[in-house]
Amino acid sequence: MVHFYRNVFTLAPTGKVREVAALLKAIHAQEDQEAARAKAALVADKLQAMRLPKAAALVRSGIEETLAYMAFPREHRTRVRTNNGLERIMREIRRRTRVVGTFPDGESAVMLVGARLRHLAGTKWGTRRYLDMTRLREADQAQEAAAAV
Q: What per-residue confidence (pLDDT) applies to 120?
A: 81
Asked if 29 and 48 sit in the same domain, the reply is: yes
Asked if 67 and 83 sit in the same domain, the reply is: no
Asked if 115 and 87 sit in the same domain, the reply is: yes
In this prediction, residues 32-43 reach a mean pLDDT of 94
Q: What per-residue confidence (pLDDT) applies to 136?
A: 78
Residue 116 predicted with pLDDT over 80? yes
Which structural domain, as residue segments, surrounds residue 62?
A: 2-71
Of the pLDDT bands very low, low, confident and very high (cuts 50, 70, 90), residue 88 is confident
Asked if 83 and 126 sit in the same domain, the reply is: yes
Asked if 65 and 88 sit in the same domain, the reply is: no
Domain final position from 43, 71, 99: 71
Asked if 94 and 117 sit in the same domain, the reply is: yes
Q: Distance of CA 23 to CAs 41, 43, 55, 63, 137, Å?
A: 11, 6, 12, 13, 34
In the chain, what is the greatest distance between 2 CA atoms, to the nearest angstrom?
A: 64
Asked if 24 and 81 sit in the same domain, the reply is: no
Domain final position from 51, 71, 91: 71
Instruction: Count Cβ atoms below 10 Å from residue 128 Cβ, excluding itself.
Output: 8
Q: How many structural domains are present in the chain?
A: 2
Q: Mean pLDDT score of the chain, rounded to an integer?
A: 88
